Structure formats: C-alpha cells, structure tokens
Amino acid sequence: MARQRPSFADLPTEILEAIFLNLDPRSLASVSQTNKLIKELTTDAPIVWRHLCKTQFRTWDSRHNIVAKFAAPLSHVDWRALYMTKHTIERRTKELLDHIVTSQQQRIRRINAIADFGYDAKETLLRECACPADAEDVLARRYYANAVLERIHREVAIKVWTDLHAGKDISIERALGAYDVFARVGEDVDVDVVAQDTTALADRLLETHPDFRTLSPRKQASTLASYLRDQGFNGVTETSYRALRNSFIGLVIRSTKHESLPLISVAIYCAVAQRLGLDARPCGFLFHVYTLVYAPRNYNLDGEYKPTSSTDLEYMYLDPFRSSAEVRQGELRRVLRDMGVPSSEHRAFLGDTNTREMVMRTARNIMNSVQTIRETEAGARSIQASWMHSQPDMDNAFYATIWAMLLLGPNDDNLAVGHTAIRRRQYLPYLLEHFQMHYPWDVTLLSRYVIPMFYNQPEGHRLLQFVQSMHQVDAMRKPVVRRSECTQNVAFKVGQLFKHKRYGYEGVITGWDVVCDAKEDWIQNMRVDSLSNGRNQAFYHVLVCDKSVRYVAAENIQPVGEDTYPSEALLKLAGRHFKRWDDARHCFVSNVRDEYPED
C-alpha cells in the first residue's frame, strides 16, 4: 500500500502560524485558498492578523487607541476585523480620490468623506502625494491628495485646541505641536511625534547625567538648561528672529540648528522637565517668556527638607533662550519698572502662565512673522512665489492662527454668551477670506466647530446659509461654456501659460468670458474702461504663481515662448485645475473639461 505524501497542512499549527507571519497580505491570501484547513487557520489566527496590523500600517486614527490595543492580550481585539477595516478604508480612499481628481462635481463632499477616515487615510494619501511623475494626472493627483491630507491635519489640530478650551489636560508640547500639524503634512508630522521627540530628549539627558534624579531642584534646573544648550537649543540670532519656522515646536526640535523664539525654547524646557520630574512652568513676562522652576512641597530649591504649612512653593527663574544661568527676580522687577509697569501689576507678569495663553502668544508670534514676510513682498514691488521658500507654508500658518484665536480667544467666564460671540466675530472675516480662497473643502469644519459658537446669533444663521449654499453648488454640474461664433474673440485657451504684459507675473488661464463679467464697482475700481479695448474684450480667469486668482483682460495676456516652462511654484498650484504639463503642446492639460469641453 502506497504511503500518503506528507501535506503542508499536516504541519503543527504553531509552525504554520510562524510561516504565515513571514508572508505579505497578498501571499497570505493566496495560501489561504489552498485548502479548507489552511483557510480556517489563516482566518482564525489573531497572532497573524495582529502582525499584519503592526507591519502593514504605520498611521492609525486616534479612535482606534492602537497603542492600548497592541499592549492588550491577544484575545482582547478582533485583529482580523481591524485589519479588514483599515484595508477597506485604504481602498475607499483611493476610489474617492480618483473621483475627486476626475470630476469637479461633489468634490467637496468626497474630500470630506476621506477626511472623516482621519489618520486611517494618511498613508494612502502620502503615497498619492508621491505618485510617479509620468502619471497621466500627476499634478491633479498630488494636489488633491495633499489637499485632503491637509484637511485631515487641520481637524486633528482643531480637536487639540477644542479640548484645551474645554478644560482638558493638554500638555504644552501637544498644544503647540498642533500648529505643526495644522500647517504641515508628512509621515512624521503629528502631536504624538512632538511628544515622542520630547521624551527622547529627556531620555538622552538621563544617559548623559545618570545621577540627574539625585540632584537638587536648583541643580536639576541648571543641568537641564545646559544640556539643551549643548544639544543646540540656543535661541536664535537677531537676523533670523522673525523666521516663521521659529514658532513651530515640531520643526524646531527636528531641525539641525534648533533655532526658536523664547516661547518655544521655554516650552521645550518645560516639556522635557515634566518628563524628568522637575516642576517647570512658563512665565509670560512682558515681551519675553521665562521659565519658573518650583521646588517640591516642604523642600527648598537646594533639596533641603523644610516642612511648612504654607501652600507657596520656593521658585527660581531661568531664561533657556539666552543662557543656563539663574535669573534673579529683582532683575525682572527692575525691567518692569523701567517699562513703566506699576508695582501693583508686577505679580501678573512674574507668575506662571497657562498653556492656553502660550498657544495664543504663539499665534501672535506667527502673525508677526507672516506680516514681516508680506511687508518684504510689498517692498519688492513685484508678484513673486515667495511662499515656496516659506516653511511651513505661510497661508497655512496664518490660517492656523485664525482658528486658534477663534477657538481659544475669549476666555472670560464673566462674559455672557452674546458678548463672547461678539469678541469672536472679529476673526470671522479673516477665516472666511482664507477659507474661500484656499480651503473651500473646510466647509465641514465650519459646520462642526464655528457655527456652534454663534448659536442664536445672526452670524450663525448666515454661516449656516453659506454652508448650505456651498454644498448645493458642490452637488451641481458646472455650467458648460462652449466655443461658437460668439466666442471668436477668445483667442487664448484654458491651460495656456502666460506672462502679464504690464506686471510681468507668471500665470495660467483657468477660464474665460467673452466680455468682462465683473460687477460694475470692480470695473470702476480697476479702471477697466481705460484699457485700449475696455470692457468689451475677452477676460480670463487666471491662476498666478503667488497663489492669487485674478481676472485679466485679453490685451494683458502675453503667451510665453516654447523655451519658457512653468515654474515649480505654478506646477504645484496647477493641480487644482490641470492634470499635467504637456511638453509637446506646451500647455497644461485641462482637468475642467466638464466646464470648458473644447479647450
């Protein structure tokens, strides 16, 4: 009688699982189809599915609480279901992005559908942001993948500030790290990453100073300050003081020079100190930020046991932005007197401040940096793509400050709801201006976080109508603009690259009208009738390299020669309207053919 050949399925379950752990998802799926037993084993092996969850996905939305899941006993989590959820989200994200790229209709709805997946969609979007340069729709795919990812990041940051406003215990590095998350995208951009980097600084200090925890609070304070300065956290020179990046804690920690404003230097110091068991808090001084270091209760700063019934703690000042030396309170009082601050008000400037105030001061610092950049641009007297050299993006950064001010600004418990709304009202015009120009897909954020602030206020009703109108327009097909005998004066086409004849800026045509279709007051203000051909010539909607959208008369359009190619800045922006740049035709390939089918 012939012996039965040994079967793969005859191997012990433990060995089979060990084999499965070395397979990628596609190979595992193929193996599972070999026979019923193997299919049952792969389906019911939580160790395999947990391994796949850990190795196949790097970013998880906070709703999963994935760190706790990985730490929990294997049987406490349905790992196969979790893997399938993530896999389904990745597939759905790709499907929705394909629709976003190919059609203007329901674009906002689909962007927000992906955004609702949160960080579960992040890896897919990052891959799409880096799609091959020869992809048929490379510019559009990269643009909208980045736009959706930015939209996800903004809501993550908004939730941090919303929690802070609600009184939740939000650490200073997370509250300030939300600015990084709001204004930047990338695999390593997250409040958790900022927290991890801060922990790494603390761990390295303990490696360098293994006796740190045995030192007195005073000695610990100076040791930490010296250590940070040795690591390159030495503030910033006067010449680059207003650089935008200096207000972003995540950028500062990850940069090679670690240049930062005093507030960020203090925040990093306090965050690291907290991990080392040292009680350090920011002191919101006048035009500067210091660190207050407190001794534990019943001890002084030199570590001596001094029992007392008082709740007051002994403290000292440091200025980690400038040095590791202790700053005497008398010196700070002298500065206040020299500035004309009455003695009765000194206490307000010499005590510790809360995280909310640090977030607000950071907003003002960012606004000042943006203002400096814009003043420099105005002085140049030319339209340039200076935003390309700003890190993080200047518009994203300014938009972040508006949201932070709106969410955290009015914090006076004595103010009635109506008065609070009045205080918040001042930020709305700036928010809506940026929203309409750069971030129309943030309409859901308006619904979730802004409209409730103005409940029963006139602004709330108007915002609600505005949001409803945007959704209605998004659901409609774009009106078709066809060429005919009536459009013979429209010489240029959607996608043509040009230079403005008078101002010399670079732009691309995104649409056109047979005659000027602007309102009468705009026509008068822009002195359209003083042009050679006045208002009765073709006018073009154009996208300019500085991110602006303009309306230009035909006589000011100068098509570029075949030896001129779009700048890197325009290529990055063009994806909003175009699929790719066509070298052979020397123009952008339209992605708005549903609106201009013959261009």
Structural domains of the chain in order of their starting residue, each with its CATH number: 8-83 (1.20.1280), 181-356 (no CATH), 485-590 (2.30.30.390)
Residue 88's pLDDT is what?
96
Tokens of 119: 């960080």
**Greatest mean pLDDT range, 29-38, 277-286, 369-378:** 277-286
Is a pLDDT exceeding 60 seen at residue 37?
A: no
Q: Show Cβ contacts of residue 126 under 8 Å, excluding neighbours closer than 6 positions.
A: 145, 149, 185, 186, 187
Closest C-alpha among 481, 484, 543 to residue 517:
481
Residue 121, CB-side half-sphere exposure with 13 Å CA sphere:
29
Q: Judging by beta carbons within 10 Å of its beta carbon (0-12, 13-18, 19+), is residue 297 exposed, middle or buried?
A: middle
- Given pLDDT bands bounded at 50, 70 and 90, which one contains residue 191? very high
Residue 1's pLDDT is what?
46
Report d(CA 480, CA 597) in Å as an integer.
7
**Which residue did the predictor score with more confidence, 148 or 382?**
148
Per-residue pLDDT reduced to its tens digit, 47-105: 888 888 998 899 999 999 999 999 999 889 999 899 999 999 999 999 999 999 999 99
Q: What is the mean pLDDT of residues 243-271?
A: 96
Torsion angles phi and psi, residue 386, rounded to 5: -65, -20
- Given pLDDT bands bounded at 50, 70 and 90, which one contains residue 415? low
Per-residue pLDDT reduced to its tens digit, 110-150: 999 999 999 999 999 999 999 999 999 999 999 999 999 99
Alpha helices in 24-137 (DSSP H): 25-32, 36-44, 46-56, 66-71, 79-102, 107-115, 122-129
SS3 28: helix
